[in-house]
Amino acid sequence: MLPDYSKQTLKGTDKSTKLSFILTLYAASVIAWDALQNAWESAVAAGKLTTALPIVQGVVGTPYNTIECKSGSVSFSVAPGEAPAGVATISGVIDGVAEDQLKTVYALQGEEVVAIVTRCADGKKFVFANPCTGGVTFQYQTIGALDGGEAGISFNLTGKDCPVPVLVYEPN
C-alpha cells in the first residue's frame, strides 16, 4: 500500500498542522529608504530582497521588537488595491497577557513598522514594507479573553496600496 501524501505539505508537514511564524518589527522611521532604492528595483524584478534593511545611522537602542505569536495564529494576505497595487495585511495573536507584551503593543499602536515574518518550519522570511509606501500600521484589536476563552492580544498590521506589498527576504 502506498503512503497517503494528500495531507503532506511543506517538507512533509501535515496539512492539519498550522505553521508558526515569528514577527520582527522595525520602526519604519529607522530604515534608510534612500539607501535601499537601487536594491529595491532589482528585488522587485527577482521577487526577493537580498540586501539587508539599512538602519539609519545614529539610531540609539534596539530599533525593533520581536513578537512571538501563538502557534498557528499568524496569517498574512495581499488583497487587490487600486490597480496595479495590492494591500498587505498580517494578523496574529500574542499568547497570554504580560507586562512586557502590554508595553510593546501600547508602544506600537498606530505606528508604521517594517514587518519581517519568519516561517518557523523552514526559516523563510518575508518583508512587508517598501520605499513607495513605508511600512505597515500596527493596531491591536483585543487584549484579554479571546475566542476559545484563552488570554492573549490579537492584532493586525495593514499596509497601503503598493505594486509590491511583500517580497521574500534573504539578506546577505
SS3 (DSSP) at 166: coil
Give the C-alpha separation, 63 to 126, whole Å: 18
Q: Which of 65, 113, 120, 63 is nearest to 90 (CA)?
A: 113
For 20-71, the pLDDT digits (tens) are 777 777 777 777 777 777 788 888 888 888 888 877 655 555 556 677 777 6
Q: Where along the chain do its domains lie?
A: 19-55+62-169
What's the pLDDT score for residue 139? 95
| 119-141 per-residue burial string, b: 16 or more CB within 10 A, e: under 16 | eeeeeebbbbbbbebbbbbbbbe
For 105-147, the pLDDT digits (tens) are 888 899 888 888 888 888 888 888 887 777 889 999 999 988 8
For 147-170, the pLDDT digits (tens) are 888 888 999 999 988 888 888 889
For 90-109, the pLDDT digits (tens) are 998 888 888 888 888 888 89
